[in-house]
Copies of this chain bind each other. A is one copy, B any other.
Amino acid sequence: MTAGTSKDAVKAALTTQALETPSWAYGNSGTRFKVFAQPGVPRTTREKIDDASRVHAHTGVAPRVALHIPWDKVDDYAALAEYATERGVTLGAINANVFQDDDYKLGSVTNPDPTVRRKALDHLLECVDIMDATGSRDLKLWFSDGTNYPGQDDIRSRQDRLSQALHTTYERLGDDQRMLIEYKLFEPAFYATDIPDWGTAYAHCLKLGPKAQVVVDTGHHAPGTNIEFIVATLLREGRLGAFDFNSRFYADDDLMAGAADPFQLFRIMYEVVRGGGLTSDIAFMLDQCHNIEAKIPAIIRSVMNVQEATAKALLVDADALAEAQRTGDVLAANAVLMDAFNTDVRPLLAEVREDSGLDPDPMRAYQQSGWQEQIVKERVGGEQAGWGA
């Protein structure tokens, strides 16, 4: 917060925040050891949208829902978009899925077999068709492609194949559509992932053009990686397209954003604010797995955690910070940042909500809304949504 930044300005910034929740987070998820099903989990994409609309209704800052194809395949996407609008939310990014068919055992767009590559590419292009229908701006691409054993495939040829698929898909994008390229260190590939780090995603984006942007999933880095540095760097390069928020203690744990290291989330949001990212085209998405906790409240909590981190980031006294940095006063500069982090922003956020006519406590409001009881009662029979659905 610069000297000139009033509390009102902070509140205004917080009011306009818009997060995107992932349709699949409302469904069942788990680990390779076990997926624990939960009562009331949606069976259809419409039910997922119903749940997402509840998250937005209580938090006021989660107006978009990302889809995952084919998990969210429907016959009429325009009707789906209308359904969402009626429930107060809009459809967000289209997430392509090229990892769950048997054909993809050794890769999708990087598979040594050209037939499999073609199939995967067709799916990517189909996703752009869906974007046309839903009006979605973003095509989100995460590839599980990689190898488990040294020698299994040629690392370099896989980059060539990847590049080809990306280019063809990029050509298919409309003027207002973007391609978001996600990187991930490992899992499910256990030796070499084809897009393992931001550098690789960035290098491909450069060659593709301005509509290609990098996605930072906060759980996809090697231990010790300074994520906020990557955020600042990509913002400086104009290549930060989106976040997949979640948190982790170990690997890609996919815990609730801010749950494992709230200070890190604050530092990330500080770099976003500092780099002008809050008012940019960046898509702020969640990508989490609520394996053992109740899903809708877990998503509400995650949204609130991102919101709290944002509020703290906005409260940093930019002038005092700049002055301490300029004079090389290490402790004073650090203290300015920590002062904002140590502030309890919950009262401020309660105000923001009340100003918007919302209950100041979204968690309590959801619990009291009766929604959970209703879906547990009504969503009986059918097949619950899940990663494999």
Contacts and interface: CB of A to CB of B under 8 A. Distances in A.
Interface string A218-240: 00011111101110110111000
B331 A190 contact: no
Given A112-B326, A155-B229, A250-B251, A31 B187 contact: yes
A357 interface: no
Given A31-B32, A156-B271, A191-B226, 18 more contacts: A30-B32, A30-B188, A32-B387, A34-B188, A106-B330, A149-B259, A151-B333, A151-B338, A155-B271, A156-B235, A185-B225, A188-B291, A196-B229, A199-B199, A222-B224, A224-B250, A262-B341, A335-B363
A13 interface: no
- Residue from the set A206, A260, A327, A331 with the largest chain B CB neighbour count within 10 Å: A331
A301 B329 CA distance: 14
Contact of A190 (B102, B253, B263, B335): B253
B263 A261 contact: yes
Contacts of A151: 321, 324-325, 333-338
A168 interface: no
B186 A293 contact: no
A322 interface: yes
Nearest to A263: B262
A97 to B, nearest CB: 10
Interface of A: 29-34, 36-37, 99-100, 102, 104-106, 112-113, 144, 148-156, 159, 185-188, 190-193, 196-200, 202-203, 206, 221-226, 228-230, 232-233, 235-237, 248-251, 253, 255-256, 259-264, 267, 271, 274-275, 291-294, 297-298, 301, 308, 321-322, 324-328, 330-331, 333-338, 341-344, 346, 363, 387-388
Contacts of A155: 228-229, 232, 271
- Residue from the set A37, A151, A226, A297 with the largest chain B CB neighbour count within 10 Å: A151
Contact of A325 (B29, B152, B253): B152
Nearest to A330: B293
Contacts of A267: 150
Nearest to A345: B342
Contact of A330 (B102, B149, B322): B149
Contacts of A33: 99-100, 144, 187-188, 387
A258 B108 CA distance: 28
A334 B150 contact: yes
A389 to B, nearest CB: 13
